[in-house]
Structure 1
Amino acid sequence: MELYQHFRKEEHQFIDQVLEWKETVGRQYAPKLTDFLDPREQQIVQSVVGSDGDVRVSFFGGAPFVERKRALLYPPYFEADEGEYDIALFAVRYPGKFVSLEHRDVLGALMSLGLRRGKFGDILVMGGEIQFFTAAEVADYVRLHLGAIGKAPVSLEQLPLSAAIPLEDAWQEETATVSSLRLDAVLAQAFRLARERAKALIESGLVKVNWKVVDKPDFLCGPGDVLSARGFGRCKLFSVEGMTKKERWRVRLGRQK
Structure 2
Amino acid sequence: MEEKSFEFLAGRVRDLANRAYQNGFVTHTDFLSLSELSHFYKMLASEGVSSNVHEYCGSHYVIYGGFDDAERAMICFLPDYMDEETFLLSEKTEPSVLSCVHITPLNSKFSDDLNHRDYLGSLMNLGIERDQIGDILTGDKEAFVFATTEIAEMICKELVRIKHTSVKCEKVSSSDCDIRPAFEEIGGSVASERCDAIIAFVYHLSRSEAQKLIEAESVYIDGRTAYSGGYDLKPGSRVSVRGHGKFIYDGPSGTTRKGRLFVNVRKFV
| C-alpha distance in structure 1 between counterparts of 2:95 and 2:147, whole Å | 14
Q: Deviations over 1:226-251 (max 9, x none)?
A: 22465x643245669xxxxx9x9997
| C-alpha distance in structure 2 between counterparts of 1:222 and 1:15, whole Å | 29
Out of 23, 47, 51, the residue aligned to residue 51 of structure 2 is 47
| C-alpha distance in structure 2 between counterparts of 1:92 and 1:174, whole Å | 36
Deviation at 1:173, TM superposition (A): 4.7
Q: 1:33–1:71: 8 Å Cα contact kept in structure 2? A: yes
Is the counterpart of residue 19 in structure 1 residue 32 in structure 2? no
CA separation of 1:228 and 1:128: change in aligned 2, threshold 3 A: farther
User: What amino acid is aligned across from residue 93 of structure 1 in structure 2?
Assistant: T
Aligned counterpart, 2:204 = 192
Aligned counterpart, 2:74 = 70
Q: 2:132–2:147: 8 Å Cα contact kept in structure 1? A: yes
| C-alpha distance in structure 1 between counterparts of 2:138 and 2:64, whole Å | 20
CA separation of 1:147 and 1:157: change in aligned 2, threshold 3 A: closer
Length-normalised TM-score, structure 1: 0.64
Q: 1:173–1:252: 8 Å Cα contact kept in structure 2? A: yes
Deviation at 1:48, TM superposition (A): 8.1
CA separation of 1:255 and 1:55: change in aligned 2, threshold 3 A: same
Question: Where do residues 123-134 of structure 1 align in structure 2 (5 Å cutoff)?
Answer: 123-134=136-147
| C-alpha distance in structure 2 between counterparts of 1:21 and 1:165, whole Å | 32
User: What amino acid is aligned across from residue 255 of structure 1 in structure 2?
Assistant: K
| C-alpha distance in structure 2 between counterparts of 1:70 and 1:113, whole Å | 22
Out of 222, 227, 231, the residue aligned to residue 240 of structure 2 is 227
Residue 35 of structure 1 aligns to a residue whose secondary structure is coil
Deviation at 1:135, TM superposition (A): 1.0
| C-alpha distance in structure 2 between counterparts of 1:30 and 1:127, whole Å | 39
User: What amino acid is aligned across from residue 156 of structure 1 in structure 2?
Assistant: K
Percent identity over the alignment is 21
| C-alpha distance in structure 1 between counterparts of 2:160 and 2:102, whole Å | 13
CA separation of 1:92 and 1:177: change in aligned 2, threshold 3 A: same
| C-alpha distance in structure 2 between counterparts of 1:49 and 1:19, whole Å | 16
Q: Deviations over 1:140-161 (max 9, x none)?
A: 3333443443x32332321321
CA separation of 1:136 and 1:128: change in aligned 2, threshold 3 A: same
Q: 1:225–1:236: 8 Å Cα contact kept in structure 2? A: yes
Is the counterpart of residue 117 in structure 1 residue 118 in structure 2? no
Deviation at 1:134, TM superposition (A): 1.4
| C-alpha distance in structure 1 between counterparts of 2:128 and 2:198, whole Å | 34
Aligned Cα RMSD in Å?
4.8
Length-normalised TM-score, structure 2: 0.62
Structure 1, unaligned stretches of length 5 or more? 1-8, 241-245
Out of 92, 116, 120, the residue aligned to residue 103 of structure 2 is 92
Deviation at 1:186, TM superposition (A): 5.2
| C-alpha distance in structure 2 between counterparts of 1:139 and 1:198, whole Å | 39
Residue 138 of structure 2 aligns to a residue whose secondary structure is strand
User: What amino acid is aligned across from residue 91 of structure 1 in structure 2?
Assistant: H
Residue 36 of structure 1 aligns to a residue whose secondary structure is coil
CA separation of 1:157 and 1:143: change in aligned 2, threshold 3 A: closer
Q: 2:186–2:266: 8 Å Cα contact kept in structure 1? A: yes
Q: Deviations over 1:54-76 (max 9, x none)?
A: 41223443345644443321221
CA separation of 1:255 and 1:11: change in aligned 2, threshold 3 A: farther
User: What amino acid is aligned across from residue 190 of structure 1 in structure 2?
Assistant: V
| C-alpha distance in structure 2 between counterparts of 1:15 and 1:175, whole Å | 41
